[in-house]
Structure formats: structure tokens, C-alpha cells
Amino acid sequence: MSDDAIRLCSVSRRYGTGESAVTALDEVSLAFPEGTFTAVMGPSGSGKSTLLQCAAGLDRPTSGSVVLGGTELTGLSETGLTRLRRERVGFVFQAFNLLPSLTAEQNVALPLRLAGRRPPGSRVREVLGQVGLGERARHRPTELSGGQQQRVALARALITRPEVLFADEPTGALDSRTGHEVLALLRTMVDSEGRTVVMVTHDPVAASWADRVVFLVDGRVHGELAGAGADRVAAHLARLEALPC
């Protein structure tokens, strides 16, 4: 049996107070086993981004606990959380978020530099090779296509060998062919290297690359599907979006 890379226990996140208070997450309990690929879906405003942010230590739950590889995140200081984000989790965003003045290899090396470590050139070339961009190391983001930029972002997220890779709509800005390349890379990282991937997406085709799809509605888990194709995922999502508020 595999261990959980990350575990959320009764996690709630409320924003604001009084009448304007919003409950973005409502007692969510979820486990993400090591070496699995999970997609998180749900209608707009259902709490997907908040879930990702709380799981990755980018945001703090109002109550409940988040345990990443045996570390209770809610007990960490700001410095401890910053270190955890730098060294133990990786992030890929819809908008790539590469620094335009840096080359691909400098962008990839950045997390190690920020952690005060000297990035070995061999490691930078290794991860760029993994995402199929060994030949583009000296290119700047503007000299790369959207799909290539997202692959640089993926290499940057992997350079620290994170325990969990979080992806927030990683294919949202890509056409379906380049989106497919990025999803295939995520799948390979799980299958060949045993990495754990948690991905928010609104696209049933993207979600069908995952081992399971967890659905959120109004900040609560509302079922999940394992090994489902895009049609089944889309049908499930359509039912959720038709639920009365």
C-alpha cells in the first residue's frame, strides 16, 4: 500500500466575516496517495483554487489540518512554510509565470538559487531534457511557443524534486495539441518517476489523463470518478453544474 503524499483533514477556509463571509472550503477531507495523478474539477467558485492553495501551503486553512509527507502545515511558521514551498512542492500555473529577461535554463535554475543553492548545470540540463527542451536552454520565453514555455515552467517546478506537483489549469492557455503534450509529460512523471500530481482543470479531456477526478461543489467534495474517460467526466460535471444553488 502506498502512503499519502498529502492529506487534508476537515479543511475549511472562510474569507471575511459577518454577512459578507464566504466559505470557500467546507470541511474537506481528501488524501492524495504517492505516485498518483488527481484532477480537481467543479463549477466556477466551487473552491478548486482555494483547495490547491491550502494543500500547497500558499494559503492557510481557517480550520482543519494539511499534512504533506508527514509534516503538519498548519503548525509551520511563515519561514517554515516558505521553505516547504520552495523545497517540497512544485507549481505550474495557467499563465506560465516565467521571468521574461531570463533564459529557459536560468528560469529553471531559479528555485535552487532562491533556496541559496548553486544549481548544477547538469541537473538543469537533465530536467530540460525530460521536458524535451534540451536544445532550447538559451532561449528566452518570448522566443518559445506557449507549449514550450509551459514545459519550461514544468522543468522549473521539477528541479527541486518536489514531493507533490500542483498544477492550476496548466493547459488553460494552450491549444489542444500542445495541451496534450503537457498532459502527457505530467502522466509520464507519475508513471515513470512515481511523482504525485494534483491538477485543477475545467477541461474533461485534461481530467481524463488523471487516475481519478475529485469534484467540488460549494466548497465540499461531491463525488469522484476513477479511470474515467472525457465523456463520463463531462457528463458528471454537467450534472453538478445543473444542481440548484
Query: Of the two residues 67 and 240, which places its CB atom closer to ligand ADP in the complex?
Result: 240
| Interface with ligand ADP, residue 46, by CB under 6 A | yes
Nearest to 40 by CA among 190, 223, 173, 238: 223
Stretch that binds ligand ADP, among 47-55, 70-78, 185-193, 236-244 (CB under 6 A): 47-55
Cβ at position 6, least distance to ligand ADP in Å: 17
* Contact pick of 7, 48, 88, 236 for ligand ADP (by CB under 6 A): 48
Residue 208 CA: distances (Å) to CA of 50, 76, 103, 139, 175 = 22, 35, 33, 32, 17
Stretch of residues binding ligand ADP (CB under 6 A), selected from 45-53, 80-88, 221-229, 237-245: 45-53
Q: What is the DSSP string of 76-132?
A: --HHHHHHHHHHTEEEEETT----TTS-HHHHHHHHHHHTT-PPPHHHHHHHHHHTT
61 binds ligand ADP per the rule CB under 6 A: no
Nearer of residues 189 and 198 to ligand ADP, judged by Cβ: 198
When asked if residue 49 is in the footprint of ligand ADP (CB under 6 A), the reply is yes
From 181, 167, 96, 177, select the one nearest 133 (Cα to Cα). 181
111 touching ligand ADP, by CB under 6 A: no
- Please give the C-alpha separations between residue 215 and each of 29, 165, 202, 211, in angstroms, as whole numbers: 12, 19, 11, 13
Stretch that binds ligand ADP, among 43-51, 74-82, 123-131, 169-177 (CB under 6 A): 43-51
CB of 55 to ligand ADP, least distance (A): 12
7 part of the interface to ligand ADP, by CB under 6 A: no
Pick between residue 44 and residue 101 the one whose CB is nearest to ligand ADP: 44
- Give yes or no for a contact between 24 and 38, defined as CB atoms under 8 angstroms apart: no
Q: Smallest distance from the beta carbon of 18 to ligand ADP, in angstroms? A: 13
What is the DSSP annotation of 127-193? HHHHTT-GGGTT--GGGS-HHHHHHHHHHHHHTT--SEEEEESTTTTS-HHHHHHHHHHHHHHHHHH
The window from 40-48, 120-128, 130-138, 229-237 that contacts ligand ADP (CB under 6 A) reads 40-48
CA 179 to chain centre: 15
Nearer to ligand ADP (CB atom), residue 92 or residue 124: 92
Query: Contact residues for ligand ADP (CB under 6 A)?
Result: 15-16, 22, 24, 42, 44-50
